[in-house]
Structure formats: C-alpha cells, structure tokens
C-alpha cells in the first residue's frame, strides 16, 4: 500500500467487466494507473481459449506497468454444468455430482478440472463453488443444478473437496452465496428483483451457513455474500450491505479471515439502494472487500472507484477498515504472483 493514492487504494477494491472480445483502451488505462483489482469474464468475452489467453496476457502486462507489482485477479463463473464461461471441465453440475455413485471423487475431479481449465488460459480466481442447500426441487438454485444436495452435510463435504482440489491446482476458490440462497423460490432471483428469505436464525445457522465452516477450514480464498434480505439477521438490508452478516456472522462467528466479494453491484435485488456509487459505499461500509461490477460497462466500475475514493476522503469510510480490505486484496494478488 505504500505510496498509493486514494484513487489507487479505492481501485484495489473494484472488479471491472467489459463488453465484447477485446478490453477497451479505457480499461487498460485504468489498470496501468493502478486503479483496478481485477476483471471478471463472461461468455461474450470469450471466443476461444487462445483468444482469452491473449486478452489476459494483455491485461496483466498493463498491470505490470502500474504501481502494484502483482497480478490482477482474473475471474469467472466456472461452476460446472450450465454455469460455465469456458468450454470443458467441470462438465457435470453440482447436482449431478451430488447424485453420482462416488460424489466425493466427482467433486474432487470437478475442482481439479475447473482449476486446470482456468489456469490454462491465465485466470486465477473461480467464483465457485455454490454452497447453497436447496429446500425444494426446482427452486431458484436447484433449477440450474447449482446445489450439491438438499442435505447440508453433503453440501458441506462436497464443497470442501471441490475447494481443496481446485486450490491445489492453483486457482483460488470462492464459496457462495453466504449465508445461503437455498430457500429462494423459483422466481426469487436476486439478479432481477429484491428477495426476502424468511428463514429462522436457527435454520440459517444449522443449514445454510453450515457448509461455510468446512470451506473456511479448507482454506477458501473468497466468500461471496448474497443480495437477499434475511430478516433473522437484518429486516431491511441485503446481506452484502449488512455488517451483522459480513462482520458478525461470517467473520466473527465463523472466523473467516479471507476476502469478501459482492455479487453484481448492478443486481435488481438492490433496487431502492441508489446507483452503483451509493451501493459501492454501502457495501464497503458493511465490510465487503471486493466490489463486483458485472454490467460489462466500464463506467460502472469507474463510478464505484470514484465513490470509494470520495467516501475515504470524507471519512464516511473509515481508514483502518478500508486499509485492511486493501491489504487483504494486495496480499492475495502478491501470493498469486509468487
């Protein structure tokens, strides 16, 4: 952190996205200035393995010219099954893994396969696995096969095996969506609309949060916090804007010391919490380290950086907590470079 400007400190907490197959000059300039922590890639950014490998080399070359001499966080969603941005492993969804004859071996193979697949094109972070414990067949999480099981113990076991195998392959894992979206009904999609999950505190801790303890023990690098509202913890704020969830449940109760990351700041679930700039400040204030700008619009990432810098200058975001988040992010980037 030594010598970084306020804008550069703010940039260490923002993940950018862009449209099309080639990153725009404005993003490369932002990276060279040291005002970005990383980039998330979607299917529309990828035409082939060789193409995305070349893009990632270009982005990392830009980062090498900036003040933070460590790799950018290059991430995507490679859960398996229908949720994959790259062709190839893991081919099976979490649900198919959970229902297989040897689910432990299948989870290990999927984690290793995802790791080697992403590492082969130069990525270093996977926004997987999902650790949601689905309640009803065909609900929001189960309809796309994104949960290992409706049995919390099974999700706990298989998620930990996936995480360990993937990180052994050199790709940082992300456990999501804390404290859990398993109770969401089919239309309760946080990408599209506000979602309220009326789950008791006892059920949240015994079922939804259970897999996270093992994932933390497995050394998971990141935890993504959901945008649903959990009245048992906070009747008004989505989890990623709520310090009782981020600092209370995840950090203090479960002992997570890694990096917290939001789901997409542009999500419909945050309707009523202002523009990206306001959402960024609220999320950072709640304890979220990395802010994910997934609209594939550079201006959204720029707005988040501007808002964080302004919040730090004004004192709305406290310097010790802000610097702690930046330190966690730079430490991870440095480890990846080593």
In the predicted model, what is the mean pLDDT of residues 181-209? 98
Q: Does domain 7-337 have CATH number 3.30.10.20?
A: no
Look at residue 338 in the predicted model and tell me its pLDDT: 85
Written as six digits, the tokens of 210 are 């259970």
Residues belonging to the chain: 338
Domain locations in the chain as residue ranges: 7-337
Residue 281 pLDDT exceeds 90: yes
Residue 1 pLDDT exceeds 80: no
- Give the Å distances, CA to CA, from 125 to 96, 115, 122: 23, 9, 10
Look at residue 302 in the predicted model and tell me its pLDDT: 97
Confidence of residue 264 (pLDDT cuts 50, 70, 90): very high
Residue 73's φ and ψ, nearest 5 degrees, are -80, 115
What confidence tens digit (pLDDT) does each residue in 286-316 have?
Answer: 999 999 999 999 999 999 999 999 999 999 9
Look at residue 130 in the predicted model and tell me its pLDDT: 98
Q: Measured at the alpha carbon of residue 142, what is the angle toward residues 181 and 266, in degrees to the nearest 5?
A: 50
Residue 158 pLDDT exceeds 80: yes
**pTM value surpassing 0.85:** yes
Residue 2 pLDDT exceeds 80: no
């Amino acid at each position: 952190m030594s010598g970084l400007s306020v804008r550069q400190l703010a940039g260490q907490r923002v993940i950018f996205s862009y449209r099309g197959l080639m990153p725009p000059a404005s993003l490369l300039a932002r990276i060279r200035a040291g005002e970005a922590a990383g980039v998330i890639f979607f299917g529309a950014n990828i035409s082939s393995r060789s193409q995305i490998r070349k893009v990632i080399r270009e982005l990392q070359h830009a980062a090498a010219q900036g003040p933070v001499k460590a790799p950018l966080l290059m991430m995507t969603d490679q859960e398996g099954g229908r949720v994959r941005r790259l062709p190839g492993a893991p081919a099976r969804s979490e649900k198919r893994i959970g229902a297989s004859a040897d689910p432990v071996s299948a989870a290990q193979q999927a984690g290793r396969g995802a790791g080697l697949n992403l590492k082969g094109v130069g990525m270093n972070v996977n926004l997987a696995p999902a650790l949601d414990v689905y309640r009803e067949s065909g609900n929001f999480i189960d309809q796309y096969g994104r949960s290992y099981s409706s049995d919390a113990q099974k999700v706990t076991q298989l998620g930990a095996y996936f995480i360990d195998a993937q990180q052994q392959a050199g790709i940082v894992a992300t456990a999501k969506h804390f404290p859990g979206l398993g109770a969401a009904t089919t239309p309760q999609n946080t990408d599209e609309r506000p979602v309220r999950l009326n789950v008791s505190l006892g059920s949240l801790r015994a079922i939804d949060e259970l897999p996270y303890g093992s994932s933390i023990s497995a050394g998971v690098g990141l935890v993504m916090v959901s945008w649903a509202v959990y009245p048992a913890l906070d009747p008004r704020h989505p989890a990623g804007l709520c310090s009782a969830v981020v600092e209370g449940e995840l950090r203090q109760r479960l002992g997570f010391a890694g990096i917290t990351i939001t789901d997409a700041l542009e999500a419909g679930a945050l309707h009523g919490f202002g523009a990206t700039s306001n959402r960024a400040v609220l999320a950072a204030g709640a304890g979220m380290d990395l802010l994910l700008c997934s609209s594939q619009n550079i201006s959204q990432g720029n707005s988040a950086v501007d808002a964080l810098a302004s919040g730090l200058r004004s004192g709305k975001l406290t310097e010790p907590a802000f610097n702690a988040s930046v330190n966690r992010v730079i430490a991870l980037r440095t480890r990846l470079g080593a």
